[in-house]
A and B are shown apart, each in its own frame.
Chain A
Amino acid sequence: MKIHIEKPAVYEAFPARKKFYYRAGYKAKQINNLELAAKFTAVYKTGARLIQPVICWSTIPTDQAVNLLPESFKGVQQVTLFISTIGKEIDGEISRLYQFKNPLDAMLLDAWGSESVEELNQNFDQKLRRKKGSGTRRFSPGYQDLPLAANNRILEFLDFSLVEASKKGILTPAKSTICMIGWYDEQK
């Protein structure tokens, strides 16, 4: 089994502003309050400066992934397991902002980080599908019949030290995810 560690360009984890606004609870396309707009921009820059995106992944036959897959993956021949993170710096900054009583910035940065890791996943997801075809939907432990604690097994399986999980499967750094995509036809 070959495990790959990739360090994508930081801009691959730069989220669309609209998604960032939405995640932060702002449902309009444009922010008309100039002060607030400036705040969003400043937070975007902070996030963009802090992240260090890394993805650890491996594509394996499903029979090697016992206890790691949900029922819905029945019938797939191969699965790509991947762990993605934008690093721990952003967690530290969010804590610091809360500590210094700047909850708005902290909340915005938290939203930005969530969208950032999602952007990272989406770009990696698309890259995989360009090579391997359509596959299943991207799936993460904590849904359907695969408990969150399965994160621990996948982390151990991929032997990736930059991300850790609690017993219940909560990941650290917080802006990290564990995902999988199943492939029906490896030749595709």
Chain B
Amino acid sequence: MNRNEFNKLLQKRILVLDGAYGTEFFKMGYGDQPGVLLNLKHPEVVEKLQKQYVAAGSNFILTNTFSANRPKLKALRAETKFKKINTEAVKIAKRAAGNKALVLGDISSTGEFPEPMGSFSMGKAVDAFAEQAQVLHEAGVDGFIVETISDLKECKAAVLGIRKVTTSLPLIVQMTFAENMRSVTGSSVAIFASWLNDLDVDCVGVNCSLGPEETLKVVKELAVYTNKFISVEPNAGTPKYKDKNLYYDLSPADFAPYVEEFIAAGANIVGGCCGTDPEHIKVISHFARKHKPLSASDKILTPTLSSRTHLQNFLPFTRIGEKINPASSKKFQQEIRNFQFDRITSLASVQKKAGCEILDLNLGIEKLLTAQHFVNLINELDRYSSLPLSLDIQSYEFLEKALFEYTGRPLINSARCFAEDLDFKGKLLKTHGGMLILLAMGKKIPKTAEARVKKILEGLDYLEKMGISSDRVLADPLVMAFGAGKDPGITLKVIRQLNNRGIKTTMGLSNLSFGMKNRDHLNGVFLAQAVENGLTSTIVDPTAQFTANSLQAALTLRGNNPQKAQDLPTENTLVNLILSGDSAKFNQAIETELENATPLEVSQNILGKAMHKIGVLYSKNRIFLPDLMLAAQTAIPVFDKLNSILGENHESKGRILLATVKGDVHDIGKKIVGTVLQTSGYEIIDLGKDVEADRIYQAIKQHRPHLLGLSAMMSTTVGEAAEVVSYLRSKGCRLPVIAGGASMNEEIAIESGCAGYAKDASKAVTLCHQIITR
């Protein structure tokens, strides 16, 4: 099926995906082995299940390749069977589908997040997805589905990888969100949806982690922000574990009332994830037949820019901070050349506090830099939970590299109105998404206002023909230096004429006062005039007070209340310092504390309490996972330093052994928990992933920990926690055990013999404290 046919079909009918594989294999008695290996060992089992889904009414069935990318298979020690597993999966699915259903190549996480949230390079991630997509494509899939992705950058890697292989097959992209409507690494549903609007995908959606009631909220949010088709695959509630059996308790009858709600909320494709079975699919199919998709309305979407964790509505007015620009400081330039980005992250933080919504990145000295500088810098800002970026990068190579690494919907600053530049920037916009600043000039700057407006209109027309709509473009009327005798009235006239045509505008304000005294006043007055003429954004020094006040006054008079600077999550200075990631200032603050308190007091009473407060902020959704990880990264060296001063006297709160259970190769979440526990004063011994019960027992004998933490992400491995506890007890080991992971919950943990369940890193800290001090 080509994409056109797929899209036409979705305009006419509600289509049905299939249900779970892992939990069904478990029920069928094959839960003791990785599901993907069944493609080779027991293809008849896979085919039987898929035939049941087709008979139940699935219009699409997924290849049994959820964990069949190379990194995952490597972890499962089945890398050599990579091609065969994927090829056989397509053959099996096609046999099962016959001519009654279409086969989608199923692609999911590699188990490692791309940098900076994980250790995988973005290039490697894209290649891994492309490699799997290539095999599935050659084997004859009808389309692709990316699912159960919990990191936005990995989602991007999957899309880029698949689209490297083919642009002619339909692509559905689904992410997984928690109840707070954020992914594990902090991206909101709105960020995901608004960015994916730009990418070459046909349908966006949500699957796994949540039952239908919670998933419905995600679908409603998706519908607000997306102009793509919507797909949804909820779990059958939350998993339970009893008598060595995993089950989900939401019956098809309990599932039923939500199916129509999904459709009413805008879903075009409905299926099921963990715990759903052919009976659930029958129910979905029953309702799907009775409804038509919501009529495709020309949705007017709010223009937004985003980073991984911040979404910025562009209208009514956006301030783009200009301070990340080393033009006037040789020392700053040298730091950048040396890959020292502390000053940049600090400037990012200052501008955020001063009320900026977007940060302009203009390193200027590009001839002295390499692509790696941009890769590292983009990742560094991402790690610091940066505001969305405006990439003011002249070199095509560096710009492309920066966009490749960027997570979210960026602003490209800028393109001039001639074919070569528009072709290149347009291509980047189509591949990576985002918005573009379009300069009112070709190879030369037009002198009159009318000529500049004409240039912009030509540029917009050119982009429109490339498939880039004008709502993704900000026109720059060009601000020239008043001191060089240029007339600022021309700029104001261009703004007015563009505003009358409904075209959004931005400008580099500081050019106006170049080489003059009282720059703040000149800039401020001119900015107020530009706002009066309809300006919608400016690139500005947000710390210039007169300019900031003038802007606020001008916007108030125009009837737009200026957006407030984002509140700091807390008034505690030390907490804010840790969260800002400013290691130098944080170290300084700790040195000051050490003048009045002993290292032990600083470690336990001051730093420990600050980290506890950060944990509380995380658990209340005031900060997100990247903030938490940055805080941990900032605090750990200081803890280490204090501990080295304390030497033998250093008292750890306890020693904790961590392991991902046998058969499970996911350990991102467990690593996060380990890092946060470490910052809370615990000594961590991490045994890694896919760990046998006996190895855990041997490690307990060797390290004598106070507590064992087990992680299980997959619904098929969640039962291993019980096996480990049972094994330890059989050996006479009474060590308390806690459990966590995506498929774990309180009930299963207790049922498995654990002392508790840690939903997230913050809860793990509380739980460890309760158990160890008991």
Q: Give A residues with C-beta under 8 Å from B.
A: 9-12, 14, 16-18, 29-30, 40-41, 44-45, 48-49
A34 to chain B, nearest CB (A): 11
Q: For B213, give the chain A residue with the smallest CB separation.
A: A41
Enumerate chain A residues within 8 angstroms of B213, measured Cβ to Cβ: 41
Enumerate chain A residues within 8 angstroms of B252, measured Cβ to Cβ: 10-11
A170 to chain B, nearest CB (A): 28
Report the Cα distance A54→B685, complex, angstroms: 60
Scoring B residues 281 to 302 as 1 if CB is less than 8 Å from chain A, else 0, what string do you get?
0110011001000000000000
Q: For A40, give the chain B residue with the smallest CB separation.
A: B257
Q: Given A17-B257, A45-B254, list of 19 further CB < 8 A pairs?
A: A10-B252, A11-B256, A11-B282, A11-B283, A14-B253, A14-B256, A14-B286, A14-B287, A16-B260, A16-B287, A16-B290, A29-B264, A41-B261, A44-B256, A44-B257, A45-B256, A45-B257, A48-B254, A49-B253
Enumerate chain B residues within 8 angstroms of A17, measured Cβ to Cβ: 257, 260-261, 264
Report the Cα distance A49→B253, complex, angstroms: 6
Enumerate chain B residues within 8 angstroms of A12, measured Cβ to Cβ: 286
Could you list 19 examples of A-B contacts with CB < 8 Å? A10-B253, A11-B283, A11-B286, A12-B286, A14-B283, A14-B286, A16-B260, A17-B264, A18-B260, A40-B257, A41-B257, A41-B258, A44-B256, A44-B257, A48-B254, A48-B256, A48-B257, A49-B251, A49-B254
Q: For A9, give the chain B residue with the smallest CB separation.
A: B282
Main secondary structure of the interface of B (DSSP, over half): helix
Report the Cα distance A10→B257, complex, angstroms: 13
- In B262-321, the 8 Å CB interface with A consists of 264, 282-283, 286-287, 290
Enumerate chain A residues within 8 angstroms of B253, measured Cβ to Cβ: 10-11, 14, 45, 48-49
Report the Cα distance A41→B261, complex, angstroms: 10
Q: For A42, give the chain B residue with the smallest CB separation.
A: B257
Q: Give B residues with C-beta under 8 Å from A.
A: 213, 251-254, 256-258, 260-261, 264, 282-283, 286-287, 290
Report the Cα distance A17→B264, complex, angstroms: 10
Report the Cα distance A35→B254, complex, angstroms: 18
Report the Cα distance A69→B260, complex, angstroms: 38
Q: For B251, give the chain A residue with the smallest CB separation.
A: A49
A50 to chain B, nearest CB (A): 9
Q: For A41, give the chain B residue with the smallest CB separation.
A: B257
Report the Cα distance A152→B163, complex, angstroms: 67
Enumerate chain B residues within 8 angstroms of A40, measured Cβ to Cβ: 257
A149 to chain B, nearest CB (A): 35
Enumerate chain A residues within 8 angstroms of B251, measured Cβ to Cβ: 49
Enumerate chain B residues within 8 angstroms of A45, measured Cβ to Cβ: 253-254, 256-257
B282 to chain A, nearest CB (A): 6
Most buried by B among A9, A11, A30, A48: A11
Enumerate chain B residues within 8 angstroms of A14, measured Cβ to Cβ: 253, 256, 283, 286-287
Q: For B280, give the chain A residue with the smallest CB separation.
A: A11
A111 to chain B, nearest CB (A): 14
Enumerate chain B residues within 8 angstroms of A44, measured Cβ to Cβ: 256-257
Report the Cα distance A49→B213, complex, angstroms: 17
B224 to chain A, nearest CB (A): 15
Report the Cα distance A14→B259, complex, angstroms: 11
Report the Cα distance A17→B260, complex, angstroms: 7
B414 to chain A, nearest CB (A): 44
Q: For B285, give the chain A residue with the smallest CB separation.
A: A11
Enumerate chain A residues within 8 angstroms of B258, measured Cβ to Cβ: 41
Report the Cα distance A48→B280, complex, angstroms: 13
Report the Cα distance A148→B258, complex, angstroms: 37
Closest 8 CB pairs between A and B? Answer: A48-B253, A44-B257, A11-B283, A17-B260, A11-B286, A14-B256, A49-B253, A45-B254
B266 to chain A, nearest CB (A): 12
Most buried by A among B256, B257, B261, B264: B257
Enumerate chain A residues within 8 angstroms of B286, measured Cβ to Cβ: 11-12, 14
Report the Cα distance A127→B254, complex, angstroms: 26
